[in-house]
Each structure stands twice: as C-alpha cells, then as structure tokens.
Amino acid sequence: MNILGINAYHGNSSAAILCDGQLVTAVEEERFNRVKHAAGFPQNAVRYCLEEAGLTLRDVEHVAIPRNPWARMGTKLFYALRMPGFALDRSKVLTRFSGIERELAQACHVDPESVQAQQHRVEHHVAHLASAFLVSPFDQAAVLSTDGLGDFASTMWASGRGNRLEVHGAVSFPHSLGLYYTALSQYLGFWKFGDEYKVMGLAAYGEPAHEGEFRRMVKADHGHGFRLGLKYFCHHQTGPQMSWPEGGKTPVLGRLFSPYLEERLGKTRMPTEPIGKKHQDIAASLQAVLEEAYFRLLNSLYEKTRLKAVCLAGGVAFNCVANGKIFDRTPFSEVYVQPAAGDAGLAVGAAYYVYHQILGHPRSFVMDHAYWGPQFAPETIRQALQASALDSSKFSLQELENEELTRRAAEYIAAGKILGWFQGRAEWGPRALGNRSILVDPRRAEMKEVLNRRIKHREAFRPFAPSILEEATAEYFERSAASPFMNLAYSVRREKRSKIPASTHVDGTGRLQTVSRSANPLYWALIKDFEKLTGVPVLLNTSFNDNEPIVLKPREAIDCFLRTNMDVLVIGNHLIEKRTNLADPSPEPVFSA
C-alpha cells in the first residue's frame, strides 16, 4: 500500500511516501527550489518521492493532506465576520485546496483524470501529533503539538497507544505560544520567517528581568492550557497576516504585536540596531515565560496520562532549550522529537495517520535516524567534480577508502581547518546531522568567529552545536538521554566546558547531536578518529550552506566550497583541499589534547 503525504500551501512545504507502512523517503521542497522555508506546492519533492519509491502517481492509493479547511468552522466564522480580509484569505485557501489534484497531476505530468488516489484531510495539529508519536519508539506516550497556528488551532495534546491517538484538548486562535514567540521576535528586530531560534540563542545572554510583564502576555488558564493577554498583540484584530505564497516563495508574516507592547517595553528594535542588554533581557524573559507555559502544559498532560514518555511536535518543539529541561521540570523520563518537528513533518504525520488511525494497520516503523532525503551515486559525484574543472595548481584531489578518508578528515579538522562533509542521504528536517555538514574543531574557541567570518555570516551571539559520540554523552553533558536530532540542549559538565568552548553556549549548554554507530557509521567513525587524535569525542557541526537552504546536490556542495573560504571538502570518497586559502590563514594548531 502506497501513501503519499504532502504539506502544501504552507511554510516548509514537503512530501513523504510510505510503502506498506515503511517510510521510503521524506524531503522538503526548499532543498530543490533553493528557497528557504518554501511554501506553495512541493512539486519537486513529490516527483522525487515517487521516483525514489519506483512508483508513478497511478500507483499511489492514498494522498494524505495535513490541512482540513473545515476544522474549527465555528471559530473561523466568528472571526471571518469581524475581519473581512481574513474571510477573503480563508476563501482563497479553500479554492487552492480544491485544486490539489490538478497540481499533483501537473507536477507528475499526468492527466488529472488518471489520479485514482483517495484523498484524506488530516487536521494540522492531528498530523503534528501523528508525526511525533506514530514514528516514535514508544508503544504508549503523551503527545503535545505546539506552534503558531494551523487549522485555527495553536496547541493540541493527546495520548498515543499502539496505532491510535486520542486527542484530549486543544487551544484555538488567537491564543498561541508560537505567535507569542514570533511577535516578540519581531519586536526584537527579527522579522524573517523562522527567526525565532535566533532569539532563543540570544536569551542565554540576558536575565528574565521582565518576567512580570511577560506573565501578563501569557497567562495560565487551567483546563485550556494558556491564554494570551491580547492587548499586547494585534493578530486577533487584523487576522493572522501570514502569506503562504504560490510559486515556492518564503512565507511572510505581518506585524503581530500591538502599540501597547511598545508602550510597556519601549520602542521596537530596528533590525540594524545593535543588540543591547535590554534586548537580551527581553529575550530571556520571553524564553522564561514560554518555558513556564510549556511545562504547565506538559505537567498537566502527565497528570492526565500518567505515561512516562512524551512525544513533541510543532514549531515550538524546536525550542531545544526548553526540551532539554523536560527531565528536570516534568515527571517525563523519555522524550522523542522527530527531526522535522515543524511543518515539514506534517507530510509524514498525515501519511502515518492515514495508515494507522484511518486504515487500522499495526505499527512497524520507528524513525531512528534522519537520513530520508536524496542521495547521489559515486558516478554523479565524480561527474560534478569533473564539471567543476578544478585547477590542479590550486586544489589537491584524492579518492580514498573510508578508513583513510575519516582519518585524514579528522587530521584536517584537528589542525584547525574548516571541512565540508557531504555523504549519503540528505537529512530530513532543518538540522545538518553529519551528511550535509560543515565541521570544525570545537576545542578552539576562535572557530566560532572564524566560521562566521569565512563562511556562515551569522549573528555573533548565535551558538554552534556539538556532535558527540553517543557513548561519551554522560562524560561531557549533565544529561545522557540520546538526542540524535539536535532537538535538546543540555548543560555541558563544568570541567568539560573549556575542552569544547566553540560548541558551548554562553550559558554553558550545548544543543547536542548524539551520534550512534548504527545510525551513521561513517560520521561516527570520523568523530572516533578525531577522538583518537585529540582525546575529544566531539565535533562542531553546522549546516553545509551559506545563507541558503542546506546543500542537496554534489554541485551545490562544490559551489559552496568554491565560493566560501572553506579549506577542505570531503564529498563521497573524494577529498579536495584548497592548496592556499590566502584570504584567511588557518589559526595556529592547538597543542593540548
């Protein structure tokens, strides 16, 4: 049985395909069309999924769409009557969804009449819940989905048992922890879609000096989870001004906060304005009050379910700082957050919901790694290198067996080089997890600044993340529960902070990826070789890109290597070094292991 899941007309559009309950592939449209958080119809992702599964559209029996325009109709009508612009927007959404069969046929170059698949509409947050629980390792778990807004809800909680989810409650528009975080991120000068994680990084520099004010923005509401103090916001008056453009563009969000917020906190920060102590404190207060509401939700979910495991999804589930504290601030002892916890993951969630909850099949799949995207044959990599016509006076190129490859790569990293690492299947979700990564030595404090200056061009306050051998986690971190998808931040043990300064944030935490030998043997071997050389089982791992979606194809990796000041590229079994990188010589070698 073949089920195609599609997240369309929404940020992070994506597609996934299941064959007899096994995930064959899942991928975001942005990786193909090179537009960050691309919305619209994921035509490239759909085509790739079918091709990878060896299917045509005619072989697909079910299409799962994580959007139900008819959900919460009463609330929608109430707001539509008060906001004509919003009513118009809703009617456009309905029109778009009614044409999905045609778009699907167009993407696959077939006659719309020939599409036989049965269509299923799965409510946004139900698909989020399914994306977390139904691919988790747990037979029973509490499940929480929290984000900005989807099908007019922002939060939903449930219990999962076997192949079924039972929804216990939800929070509807206009109350939303995601919109709260986005509104305050805008106030702090971060307006781009998906910028909230930057503000989460900034929070570590400040003190929650404005907690009292923020507690008036997000109030506890027993039975309903939380309520927003609406006078700080304007989305309930203007409608959620979010445009999800056609044609694969990045979504755009309108202003979400009201003039009252500025009255209370002072003038908004312009994006070009320097960040001061006040901004850091506002970010810290924002994060602290988000955590209070998040843990209230989680604790009341525990009271209701009494289950020891929890699965999380929705954009707020990317708040790794909050996730890392779950073990301390709730009774839950096991946490699962799948790699595409945000809206891209809806494609997988809707497909599994159809397979299990609607069609009744038992569970037989666990998402225990993130490598579900496209891969490229050695011949394709060789051709891409040939097409690049690298000048041998400027580049050295060698083809090596795996053992030699990881050993040499580890030596370059230990010597202070910046190394691009391109292997196997692309990661599902926004994090590079060792197949499309840029890697450097975490022992060198200066590497953060070097990486930013030479390649990443990110704000200096943002942290870089560590990849650690799974078996060494307890040695370096105060928690040892596996974090294979970089969705949890733990405190680095005090005595180890000076060992890995470049991947330890200012508050002593690290948003770690625990790397197991079974999930990614080659990446594990590389970190192991680095440990043999230096005594440190950790690499600093950042995504292989430069202000663009993570590279997908060999050609994109080579281009990124050539146009930036990266020193070494390992692509498949090829190791390429720039003979001179005169723009910025590498730092001095470190001597301590």
List of residues contacting Fe ion (CB under 5 A): 147, 150, 343
Cβ nearer to Fe ion, comparing 125 with 417? 125
Smallest separation (angstroms) from Fe ion to the CB of 150 = 4
Cβ at position 36, least distance to Fe ion in Å: 17
Q: Would you say 29 or 343 has its CB closer to Fe ion? A: 343
Q: How far apart are CA 93 and CA 452, in angstroms?
A: 40
Q: Which residues pair with 422 in a beta bridge?
A: 436, 571
**Taking phi first (over 0 means left), then psi (-120 to 50 degrees means alpha), and beta for anything else, what does residue 5 get?**
beta
> 150 or 484, CB closer to Fe ion?
150
Write down the H helix ranges in 366-414: 378-388, 402-414
CA 312 to chain centre: 13
Residue 498 phi, psi (nearest 5): -75, -15
* Nearest alpha carbon to residue 593 among 530, 527, 512, 509: 530
Beta strand 513-515 with 465-469 is parallel
Q: Give the number of C-alpha atoms closer than 13 A to the C-alpha of residue 135, restricted to the C-beta side.
A: 32
Q: How far is the CB of 128 from Fe ion (least distance, A)?
A: 6
Of 208 and 342, the one with the shorter C-beta distance to Fe ion is 342
What is the nearest approach in angstroms of Fe ion to the Cβ of residue 337? 14
Minimum CB separation from Fe ion for residue 412, in Å? Answer: 40
Tokens of 50: 């079918």
d(CA 13, CA 33): 11
Closest CA to 283 of 293, 291, 295: 291
CA–CA separation, 577 and 426 (whole Å): 23
In the complex with Fe ion, the residue whose CB is nearer, 151 or 529, is 151
CB of 150 or CB of 225, closer to Fe ion: 150
Q: How far is the CB of 70 from Fe ion (least distance, A)?
A: 18
Calpha distance 305→286 (Å, rounded)? 29
Q: Residue 343 CB, nearest distance to Fe ion (Å)? A: 5
**CA-wise closest residue to 44 among 421, 548, 435, 552:** 552
Task: Please check whether residue 29 is in contact with residue 42, taking contact to mean a CB–CB distance below 8 angstroms.
Answer: yes
**Whole-number minimum distance, CB 188 to Fe ion, in Å?**
22
Contact residues for 146 (Cβ-Cβ < 8 A; gap 6+): 154, 155, 177, 178, 294, 297, 312, 314, 315, 316, 317
Which residues of 29-139 form beta strands (DSSP E)?
62-65, 118-121
Task: Compute the least distance from the CB of residue 127 to Fe ion, in Å.
Answer: 8
Minimum Å gap between C-beta 342 and Fe ion is 6
Which residue of this chain has its Cβ atom nearest to Fe ion in the complex? 147
* Cβ-based nearer residue to Fe ion, 150 or 537: 150
| Cβ nearer to Fe ion, comparing 155 with 541 | 155
In terms of CB distance, is 172 or 280 closer to Fe ion?
172
Nearer Cβ to Fe ion (30/343): 343
Going by C-alpha positions, the residue among 323, 287, 297, 542 that lies closest to residue 413 is 542
Here the tokens at position 360 are 């009744």
